[in-house]
Amino acid sequence: MAPGVLTARDVEIARWVARMGPVTVFQVARRFAMNRIAAYRRVRVLRAYGYLQREFAAHRRPGVLVATALAEDLDERATAVRALAPHQVAMHLAAVNVAVEHELAGTPVLVANELAAHPGLEERLPTAAAGPLRPELLVLTEPLLCVFAPSGAARGPVYDALIAASWPPATTGLLLVDEQREIDDLAAASGSLEVLRVDLTMAGHPPESPAGS
């Protein structure tokens, strides 16, 4: 059976996945304002043409979509996909949910490897002893919003660095954490940092997409 026609929207989806890194079909549906049936259809076409592939980060968990080299060639801003542990994938998907909602509101969102193309932005990042703290996402609002989605121990180096960081004026942070972790003191450590607890079992499920195709 023929895979179907590759459309301009399909190419746009492939470019977006190449930039964002691993995503779910549900996030594709939300980001591109289509229902889930339509999203599965477009993903099936993109997989058939070799732009996307599905990987399974954990046993008995839904797969994630990652861009192939073919899709990465469509956009020079493509994110190099590294091997991610299950907990890292869940944290990344939680960050993608944040990116989707801002993009739908018309706010530009940068991934980490795009910062170099925007002179002056790195000087606006929070700074720790080792230098600027690079967020997973940078939302170009005013104030600037740095989104951090670290995985691992709650008292790990990323958390310690965020507590001790120096925050430039007009820069704020959003730290996504596993709702099971006991790190309530983080919110009080810096007036510039908001802590958002997320249910990592639902990290790849953004709010419902509108009906349509």
Tokens of 126: 């929070």
How do beta strands 127-128 and 131-132 pair? Answer: antiparallel
Chain segment 9-39, per-residue pLDDT in tens: 999 999 999 999 999 999 999 999 999 999 9
Listed residue (197, 200, 206, 155) closest to 57, CA to CA: 200
Distance CA 47, CA 66 (A): 10
pLDDT of residue 2: 56
pLDDT of residue 197: 83
Give 132 or 83, the one with higher predicted confidence. Answer: 132
CATH topology of domain 8-82: Arc Repressor Mutant, subunit A (1.10.10)
What's the mean per-residue pLDDT of the chain?
A: 83
Residue 65 pLDDT greater than 90, yes or no = yes
Stated pTM of the model = 0.86
Distance CA 125, CA 212 (A): 39
DSSP three-state, residue 35: coil
Distance CA 38, CA 35 (A): 5
pLDDT of residue 55: 86
Chain segment 120-141, per-residue pLDDT in tens: 898 999 998 888 999 999 999 9
Tokens of 164: 């001790």
Domain boundaries, the chain: 8-82, 109-202
Residue 196 pLDDT greater than 80, yes or no = yes
CA–centroid distance for 186 within its chain: 22
Chain segment 161-186, per-residue pLDDT in tens: 887 889 999 999 998 887 656 565 56
Tokens of 140: 């170009």
